[in-house]
Structure formats: structure tokens, C-alpha cells
Amino acid sequence: MLKYLFMIISMIPLCFFVNCWWLIHSLMFMVSFIFMLYMYSYADFNMISYFFGVDYFSYILILLSLWVCSLMITASSSVYIFSSHCNFFVFIVLFLLIMLYCSFSSLNLFSFYIFFEASLIPTLLLILGWGYQPERLQAGIYLIFYTLFASLPLLLVLFNLYGLYNTLYYPLLIDFGSYYFMFYVFSIFAFLVSMPMFLVHLWLPKAHVEAPVSGSMILAGVLLKLGGYGIFRVMKVISYLGLKFNYFWLTLSLSGGVIISFICFRQVDLKSLIAYSSVAHMSMVIGGLMTMNMWGCMGSFSLMIGHGLCSSGLFCLSNIIYERLGTRSLLINKGMINIMPMMSLWWFLLSSSNMAAPPSLNLIGELSLLSSIISWSSFSFFMLIFLSFFSAVYTLYMYSYSQHGINYSGIYICSLGYLREYHPLFLHWFPLNLLCLKGEYFYF
């Protein structure tokens, strides 16, 4: 694992040279493809070096991080074109990638916690440095305080755990039984806030609306997945108490997902709508993880990957419109099919993936999540009906409202889009639908 880490670290000196934007961009894609070649297909930890290693779950999340960070640089080419501190921007993206890489490949709960928290710093710098509105300062404070306050008790719990076992190495952790209820609450709560769950989700729409396209892509694509990955890792320690108390989180997340779906109908900001739809999708992921059965965990896994690619692509699309018109308001962004007909196809493809239409990876994830949550309790059927139906409704609302209707009379632009814009859209959509053919990978 260290060889890939050194490959990424060796790109950092290039940030200080002039005109190395596209070189770093190409090198990041190269690292992604090299990492793909070393795919291992069994469930144990492998590629272990020092305190890094991967298993089934973390391998594809690292690959997603590499992929999304590469696409962030492609989508943020306006930073390079207008020379708004592009070298520092690339440095922050690389630093964020290193933090994500280390957090997903850590074999130790404490090192995972350190890198998990450290990944917030470059995200905050992206929002504060390249965000659009003056409210970005408030959004950054929301992001930091929500996540730090929720995860500070987890740090105390980890110290206590280490005092008890003298190790925090994943395979050596065992179930506590009923020993420590606070460990269960604090560890789950820290990860639920970063996912985010309903009631503690307010930082996410704020951060997304104020963030630049790169910040939104990494937030939706990878940072929300850190919470799900963390729950998956600590599940082994809390399974006894989980069987007793998980119904609370499951009920809250599913009912919260339905309420969030209603909130989606009221949004007029395009980015805000996509951000709230992320919360609705994550509520199903939380539900699947909390059932603690095989189908639930694997369905959550595949929906996290599918949502990471799909949501990131939708933020990319909303940014393309924002660069043309200078606004994300749905009241002004009407009739886009007349102005950018080719882009309308990509809106359709990514919107259909967002509502789990075949052949997207989201479909595999949602089907297994439906079966696992219903097997846990048949009464959850009612919530799941509403969740699935409304996710289709607000996605269709977003697509039809932005693409059809009468153009705003203040628009005097007709641009079909550049190749540099179609390129990241294709690279979001293609793996999202190609992975559907390899569905057995997500069910070891």
C-alpha cells in the first residue's frame, strides 16, 4: 500500500512548478489505473505494509477516491483558466486524496479516526478559498463544528477501548457484549453525523451550496462514505448492543429520508436539491447497515459507490450551467434543452441513475437494501415505498424543470459545451453503469 501512497506524495513537489496542472491531472489518472490492475478479490486484508492494508470494502472506496479526485481537477478547469491560485488548489486536492487514502487503508481504529478528521481541513479550505458566496464562512463553520463535536466523544471512547484491549487493530477487536453502552452511542453517532443522518444533516446542504464544484464532488463522492465505512468497521465491536438498539437509528433514518424527500420538492436551488437527495439516499444506506445482515451491508456498499459517482456527476452538471448563466436557480435555469441540447442527454442519463433506473449500480444497491430492510421488519415496507417513489418524483422534477419550459429572456448565450465538460460527465456515468455487469463483486 505504501507504494501508491508514495506515488501520490511524489506529485506534491510538482504543485510548485508553473503549468503542471495537466501533468498532475494525467498522473492521478495513471495512479487510478495502476491501482485497478492490483485488484484482489477475496475478503481478507491484503497488500499489508506497516499499518496500511486493504480488504474488499476499502479497496473500491480508495479507487473511488482516486477517481473522484482526478475528475475534480478536470471539472475545475475554470480555476486553471482564470489562474485563481491553481497550484495551491492542486496541492489541496492532493493533500485531501492522501488523507482519504490513508483513512480507507488504515488497519487501526485510531489512525482511521485521525485521517478521518484530517480530511475535513482541505475540504474546509476548498470551501473558504474557492466558494462563490460570502456565506461560505458560515458553511465552513457548520461543517467543522457538526463533525468535530460529534466525533470528539469517539476519541475518548477509543482511549478507553485501548486501555481495555491494548490494541485497536481491526481483526483483533471483539464484541463487548453489554459492557459499554456509551461506546455504542458515541461511535455510531460520530459516523451518523458525517453520513449525515436526518436531524444532524443541516451542515451538508449549506456546505454543498457554498462549495465550488470540486468541494461538492468530493463531499458527495467520498466524504459521506467515510461515515458508512466507519460504521462497517466498528460493527464488530457493537453487534451485541446493535441487535438491541439499532431499531432506533433505522426508524429515524428511514422516516427522516421520507421527510427529506418532501423538502426536495421545495428547493429552488439546483445544488441544494441534489444535496438533499444525497441525504435521502444515505438514509437508506444507514438503514441497510443497521440491519447488520449480509444483504444490508453489501447493498449499502454498492449504493455508496453508485451514489458517489452519480451525485458527483450531477454536481458537475449543475456547475456547467452555473458557469454559463451565473445562477443555479431553477426559476431561471429553464428550457436548457433549447440552449444546450447535447447536455440534456447527460442530465437524463445521470438523473435516471439517481433514481436507480437500470442498468445503474444504484439499482443493485437499492434492491438488496429493500430486501434486507423488509426482512428485518415488514412494517418498514411503508417507508420504503415512499422513499423509492419520491426519489423518482424529485429527480424527474429536477430534470423536467431545468430542461423544459420557456427560456429566461435574459439569456443571450448558446453554448453546446466543451470537450473538457463532456469528459468528466462520461467518466462519471460509464463506470456507474459498467459496474452493474459486475454485480457479484459487491456480494462476496
**Is residue 124 over pLDDT 90?**
yes
> Which residue is it, cell 437494501?
369
Mean pLDDT of the chain: 91
pLDDT tens sequence across 343-385: 999 999 999 999 999 889 999 999 999 999 999 999 999 999 9
Query: What pLDDT, in 10s, does the model give residues 36-60?
Result: 887 665 667 778 888 898 988 899 9
| CB-side neighbour CA atoms (13 Å) of 352 | 11
Q: What is the pLDDT of residue 414?
A: 62
How does pLDDT run across 158-191, given as a tens digit for each residue?
A: 998 898 888 999 888 888 777 778 888 988 999 9
Please, which residues bridge with residue 49 across strands?
52
**At residue 372, what are phi and psi to the nearest 5 degrees?**
-70, -40
The per-residue pLDDT for 102 is 95
Predicted confidence at residue 198, as pLDDT, reads 92
335 pLDDT band, cuts 50/70/90, is confident
For residue 205, pLDDT beyond 90: yes
Would you state the pLDDT for residue 313? Answer: 96
Helices first, then strands: H and E counts in the chain:
19, 2
For the stretch 301-320, pLDDT in tens is 999 999 999 999 999 999 99
pLDDT (mean) for 415-425: 88
H or E element, residue 49: strand 46-49
- State the greatest distance between any 2 C-alpha atoms of the chain, in Å, as a whole number: 68
Whole-angstrom Cα Rg for the chain = 21
What pLDDT band is residue 444 in, cutting at 50, 70 and 90? low
Range 18-22, long-range pairs (CB < 8 A, 24+ positions): 18/87, 20/87, 20/90, 21/73, 21/80, 21/86, 21/90
- Most confident of the following: 9-18, 41-50, 96-105, 230-239: 96-105
Residue 220 has pLDDT above 90, yes or no: yes
The 10s digit of each residue's pLDDT in 224-271 is 999 999 999 998 888 889 999 999 999 999 999 999 999 999 999 999
Predicted TM-score of the model (pTM): 0.95
Domain boundaries, the chain: 1-39+46-442
Judge whether 317 and 271 are in contact, CB under 8 Å. Answer: no
Strands, E assignment, 290-408: none
pLDDT number for residue 84? 85
Q: Is pLDDT at 97 greater than 80 in this prediction? A: yes
Q: What average pLDDT does the segment 145-169 reach?
A: 90
